[in-house]
A and B are shown apart, each in its own frame.
Chain A
Amino acid sequence: MMKADPVILVVEDDAAVRQGVVDSLSFSGYQVLSAADGREGMEQALRASYQLLLLDLVLPHHSGFDILEALRKERPGQPVIILSARGEEADRVKGLTMGADDYVVKPFSVRELLARVDAVLRRSSERIVGSDRYPFDGGEIDFSRREVSLENGDRKELSERESDLMRYLIANSGRAVARDELLRQVWRIDPKNIETRTIDMHVAHLREKLGPTGANVLVTVRGKGYRVG
């Protein structure tokens, strides 16, 4: 199964800059969404399905920090690059501590922008990979071989989607991951108007392969989603 091109959302109030960023990303093969002010940017950032957000800080209606704050609550782990004319150290530190993955100060060249976008996307996919082995109570998962080894000697093979799903949940262990987030980050599809039954099916298969302790390893959090650890 071929993965779709990553979707990038650009939130920038200056029309000329926005146009330049959108065109250069499109030329480099990304799918691009754009928003011209804080209000539209907030709406798209919270609803749209995208892999990376390019965010200007100084915006009408809502500032970039407001959008970052909302994203941290709604979509933790969402990769974000801040594009800002405010290059002071305090602004950069604030942006990074609020969950941004990178901070690009204007003016920037096309090459620099594309390099940073590529780096952040790569890191976010690696964040899912994590370690090759994951031991759990009752066995171990070997992601390099996409295989589960149980203590009783049984071995179960994992599908690519199951493996990615387990990786993502392990990368975000300790918190309940919503089904919409899993659809966006693992399945790379917009959760709008899509039944999440497919996720539940995959989770059920995974638990079965994890053996008798599977339900304890992959926990359902009512009303929230799924959690590992």
Chain B
Amino acid sequence: MNKPWIIWSLSALCAILVFGAMGLITRHTLGLEKERAHAEARAELEERIRLSLWRMDTAAAGILAEENNRPAWHFRDVDLRKTTRLTPLNLDVPENIKLHFEVKQGQVSSPQLNGWTQPGSQWDAQLSPVQQGVKLTQQQQNNWRTLQGLLQNDGTFQGWQAKRNHQSQLTDDNLGVISAIARRDPAKDALIEPAKPSQEVVEAVQQRKGESSAAVRSSVAYQNNYNVAEKSKRQEIVKKSVDNRAMQQKAWSGGAKMKKSSTKTAPSVQAPAAALAEAGDAEIGKKLAESQELLAGPHISSLRPIWLAGELLLVRDVQDQSGRRVQGVWLDAEALKETLLRNIRDLLPNAELEPVRKSLRVMLGEEPDPNEQDPMVMAALPWRLIPGEMAVVEPVGWTPMRKTLGVAWIGALFAALAAVILLRGVVKLSERRASFVSSVTHELRTPLTTFSLYSDMLAEGMVQDETKQREYLQTLRKESSRLTHLVENVLAYSRIERGSARARVENVRVSALIDRICERLRQRAEEACMELHCEVSPEVAAREIQVDTTAVEQILFNLVDNASKYASGKDDGKVIELRALETRQGIAFQVCDQGPGVPKSEQRKLFRAFHKSAQEAAHTKPGVGLGLALCRRLARALGGDLRIVDQEKGACFELRLRV
């Protein structure tokens, strides 16, 4: 495969494949990074949502607990003009509440009315200055009228006539429904009976407590399960907060002795008590009996939140010696919503609460609650949290992943660049070597042709003239030395390339070295009709140097050979000078001629191996462009150097040797 375009095409193909693969890896990695960032953002958002729901449920559970703790008699409407014994509800309306109310036998009353019936009556005028301070504000009066209309609204719940409590004397559907909801079996109430988390949820939560992977935590299924589990926990805690029936009963029993009219719950508790008493555990039996007494008091259900015509009410069913009635709290939904959202602004600035209006069948426990598994619904109040945030976070800047990819790309580009440079060098070298082989072949074939022709003619007796014969033999000898010189150079260069050139260093005087090689150099110069002048000062001649004389001889012969070839023209001086000089580091030999010299543009190329093609050789002088490259390498192998020296006329080469 000696065609450069094939090499370059294959290299380009390899580069395309490598960079294509790198591109795919980069794309995939960035995609993964983006996905991971999204998952992390989703997990973060879910965490904030859970925290927000906890905060809101905690706040709402507080309100529920506080209102649940109110005894039934706090809800009575007391006429300010007739009594001074007021309940807290007579004196004030708590925050986030519009009014408290009680519905008994179709009559709606409110402890905050304080005997007020309607505007324009003489009620205001009969109040003392102190009593004026606790009377209804204009807003509360308006609220009262709204509440009356709300609770006595006809025709809305026609289908629920059958559900009315027979003892209830209310003539409107709303009140019947409210009464039914307030008396509903708590076991069917999703708010009271928390949803049991599935096995997967439990496992997910346990896994989270351990060292679960980020991938598992970021998965949507895991988050949903986890939210459901959290919701069930919130429901449990809310239930504990609001389910204070025992406390209420205790408050009731602390007053006048009640006649135990209801024993609904007794059998379930009496049975174990009797069993324990029979078993001889008198202490525990006694305590259980006390509890039974407490539980056998008046019936008050827990407050239950419901939406009625867009208003949020808390209602409970009360049954005592005064009879059966519905008590309730009309919450200021807007104000409460604002309060709850204000608590979570730091977590979800754009969050909203959306009312969860259950159908009546659901509220009455006849159908499963569709919101039972919705983790966004509050446990305490019928509101769904709308987070108002998007879990989209694009990775920005130089993330560690991007840095790694960047480094990989830079590395790949540098590798590709290095490969291109290396390949270019290899291709160029290959081309130069091919050219060199062609040149060497040419240089070898030409003298071989002379050998073949001359030996044939001499052998065949085609050359009779003696002078001609001598001329032929001289030519043969010259060609033989030309061949020898060429072969020597090629072999020497090959040895240096392989690193197997062994220097045979010896101590020798400069004068002895010059004497040893001068004759051969002079002979070469004479072949080109030139003279060799050797100039060595006595001081330098006496210097002793440690050097490989064969290498020095080869270098100097090449230099003289070049001078003989290139500076033997008609217009050139016929003298080649060989000088030995002293330098700082040691000795320098200069070979200078008076020929055309070396153009500046050629000087750099001159020492490069195989720089000369056969065609160039034909245009200039025979040779393969190997001599000077070989000389420089030999000189450097000797610890010296070979360089061209500037001079006015001709070329001058200097071999520097360290002593």
Contact = CB atoms under 8 A, between A and B. Distances in A.
B619 A61 contact: yes
A72 interface: no
B619 A24 contact: no
A109 B452 contact: yes
A111 B462 CA distance: 12
Contacts of B475: 16, 19
Contacts of A113: 453
Contacts of B454: 16, 20
A109 B455 CA distance: 9
A24 B468 CA distance: 13
Label chain B's interface by main secondary structure.
helix
Interface in B440-467: 441-442, 445-454, 456-457, 460, 462-463
A68 to B, nearest CB: 15
B614 interface: yes
A109 B463 CA distance: 15
A85 B441 contact: yes
Contact of A111 (B445, B456, B468, B622): B456
Contact of B445 (A13, A20, A27, A85): A85
Interface string B590-626: 0000000000000000000000001101111010000
Contact of B456 (A19, A63, A88, A109): A109
- Band of interface residues on B: 20 to 34
Interface string B611-647: 0001101111010000000000000000000000000
A190 to B, nearest CB: 28
Interface string A93-125: 000000000000111111101000000000000
B619 A60 contact: yes
Contacts of B441: 85-87
Contacts of B450: 14, 16-17, 20
Interface in B414-434: none
Contacts of A19: 475
A69 to B, nearest CB: 16
A58 B449 contact: no
Contacts, number: 82
Nearest to B471: A19
Nearest to B438: A86
A23 interface: yes
Size class of the contact patch on chain A: 20 to 34
Contacts of A13: 618
Contacts of B445: 85, 87, 105-107
Most buried by B among A21, A105, A109: A109
B614 A86 contact: yes
B189 interface: no
A58 B462 contact: no
Contacts of A60: 618-620
A16 B468 CA distance: 12
Interface string A53-69: 00000111101000000
B457 A106 contact: no
Given A27-B462, A86-B614, A106-B445, A16 B479 contact: yes
A24 B618 contact: no
A58 B615 contact: yes
B457 A17 contact: no
Query: B446, B468, B479, B615 — which one has the most chain A CB atoms within 10 A of its CB?
Result: B446
The 7 A-B pairs at the shortest CB distance, nearest first, are namely: A20-B453, A85-B445, A107-B448, A107-B449, A110-B456, A58-B618, A16-B450
17 contacts: A16-B475, A17-B453, A20-B453, A24-B453, A24-B462, A27-B457, A58-B442, A58-B614, A58-B618, A85-B445, A88-B438, A106-B449, A107-B449, A108-B452, A109-B453, A110-B456, A113-B453
Given A85-B449, A107-B448, A109-B452, 10 more contacts: A16-B447, A17-B453, A58-B442, A59-B618, A61-B619, A85-B614, A86-B442, A106-B448, A107-B449, A107-B451
